[in-house]
Structure 1
Amino acid sequence: MIKSESIGQRIRRRRKDLRLTQASLGSRIGLSGSAISQWEDNKTSPNGDSLISLSRELQCSPEFILYGEDSVSNVELAAVDSRLVPIISYVQAGAWTAECTIRSVDGGIDFLQTNLELSASAFALVIKGKSMLPDFSEGDTVIIDPDVIPIPGDFVVAKNGQEEAIFKKYRPRGVINGKDVFELTPLNDDYPTVRSDETPIRIIGTMIEHRRYRRKR
């Protein structure tokens, strides 16, 4: 039954369960009661920081509001020492900077919950492709923090002039012609290495956590 509800219906039900008016809920998250009304009437949908604030006040997870998953974990508050990290696309990651936060992400958002100490600009990325096999399989998820400067051997997300970001291993190559040169290498030898003295590369962030998911056969 919960999954058949709309986003607005779930917001209204949780609000009424907590005996909150639209005006009081709005004031708690810095919005007007009419904004809550528009959510509940499915005229607009919460996203970004508003979605996080709404889930906190309704004492449920953002996933519950967006998708109606009715597991117990989705209707409980996150632990005090945990935070939610937005899962973004490779295209979004390509435009990501250290100044970006969850409010930079439009539309529906999926999240990972973690108790890591991360900057406000941290994000998660679902691995696609085979360039990082065997350590990183397609469908695995990595958490990236743009505030962490990579050291040799770290895995990073970077932009190399293409529309999408890339995920590779970071290897500094020293100073060449007065510039610090590094290369980004795949773990799969079938894919090419990219060098910063041959292609303009911008490091977006450093991997902080790798979540590997077992596949069913």
Structure 2
Amino acid sequence: MSPKSLLKVDNTLPKIELVQLNFDSKLLPKVENEPIRMQQPKYQDFAKRLNELMKAQGSRITTITQIKDTIGVTYEMARRYTLGTAKPREEKMKALADAFNVSISYLDHGDKLDNNIDLKGKIKNSGKLVPVISWVAAGSWTSIESIPVGTQFDEWLPANPKCGKNGYGLIVSGESMSPKFEPDDRIYINPDFQVSDLKTGDLVIVACEGEKEATFKKLVVENDGMYLEPLNPKWQDKIMELHEGCKLVGKVVGLYREV
């Protein structure tokens, strides 16, 4: 037999040609090199007011833990309040406003009031809170700096720059200054004033020897001296002389009344 013919195997590899493709740059998506912008917290304005109240001198709440304990939320939720990423609901908001002695309207919305409200005389809640003292204390203290160390105040008012650094608050009692000032209204007092700058119509706090409490009246300046007058036209004592032994201890510079 003749030998079988062998199959011939071609070991040559196929040639691969690399081709560089040219793309039209206009068809490719554009990559921006601008820095990524972080989204602002949703409740940034609320957080700003909250942090200002916490930092105010005399504030009862200064830490996140105290917020948590005061209104009964978790630490993480209280922290989010301070960052502006969350805001309390109405019940918690009211409890927080009461703790700071401010209105819920201020804490929640700030100075955003209806257009028919005049904001020119509105008290701005920034700076240190103002302590409320008794009328007995007002008759003996000339300024907040003379209050004994360790004195505890039961109430604080929102800040009022007109009070000055030694200002304090008083609670109106009686109806001698009605209808402009009603019982339980809070008034701001600035004890740092010049008597020579006072004029008729100014509202003043007066302390007299032999009397335990100070009094609140309108000042009348005449050539022969100074007099005190109630605002209530029905008040029995119409006008009283500012006699020797009485001194002006403060000027009324503001009114605080919650509605």
Tell me the residue number matched to 2:152.
Answer: 107
Tell me the residue number matched to 1:17.
Answer: none
- 1:82 partner letter: G
1:101–1:120 CA contact under 8 A, matched in 2: no
Report the RMSD for the aligned CA atoms in angstroms. Answer: 3.3
Of structures 1 and 2, the one with the larger relative CO (CA 8 A, separation 6+) is: 1
Distance 2:65 2:214 in 1: 32
SS in 2 for 1:92: helix
2:162–2:190 CA contact under 8 A, matched in 1: no
Gaps of 5+ in 1: 1-50
2:240 is aligned, of 188, 194, 214, to 194
Distance 2:127 2:154 in 1: 18
- Structure 1 residue 106 displacement after superposition: 2.1
1:138 is aligned, of 162, 166, 183, to 183
1:72 aligns with 2:96: yes
In the superposition, relative to structure 1, how do residues 201 and 104 fare at CA in structure 2: closer, same or farther (>3 Å)?
farther
- 1:58 partner letter: T
- 1:208 partner letter: V
Distance 1:123 1:187 in 2: 22
SS in 1 for 2:245: coil
- Structure 1 residue 101 displacement after superposition: 5.3
Tell me the residue number matched to 2:220.
Answer: 171
Tell me the residue number matched to 1:43.
Answer: none
- 1:112 partner letter: L
- Structure 1 residue 107 displacement after superposition: 2.9
2:133–2:153 CA contact under 8 A, matched in 1: no
- Structure 1 residue 173 displacement after superposition: 1.6
1:159–1:202 CA contact under 8 A, matched in 2: yes
2:144–2:167 CA contact under 8 A, matched in 1: no
Larger strand share, 1 or 2: 1
1:158–1:205 CA contact under 8 A, matched in 2: yes
SS in 2 for 1:202: strand
Tell me the residue number matched to 1:58.
Answer: 63
- Structure 1 residue 56 displacement after superposition: 6.9
Identity of aligned residues (%): 25
Distance 2:242 2:181 in 1: 23
Q: Tell me which structure has the larger Cα radius of gyration.
A: 2
Instruction: Encode CA deviations 1:180-202: one digit per residue, 9 max, x unaligned.
Output: x20111112423222123x5211
- Structure 1 residue 104 displacement after superposition: 5.6
1:183 aligns with 2:234: no
Distance 2:61 2:159 in 1: 16
Gaps of 5+ in 2: 1-55, 72-91, 101-106, 108-123
- 1:158 partner letter: V
- In the superposition, the TM-score normalised over structure 1's length comes to 0.58
In the superposition, relative to structure 1, how do residues 117 and 129 fare at CA in structure 2: closer, same or farther (>3 Å)?
closer
1:101–1:121 CA contact under 8 A, matched in 2: no
Tell me the residue number matched to 1:91.
Answer: 136
Instruction: Encode CA deviations 1:69-97: one digit per residue, 9 max, x unaligned.
Output: 7623447xx99942110001111111120
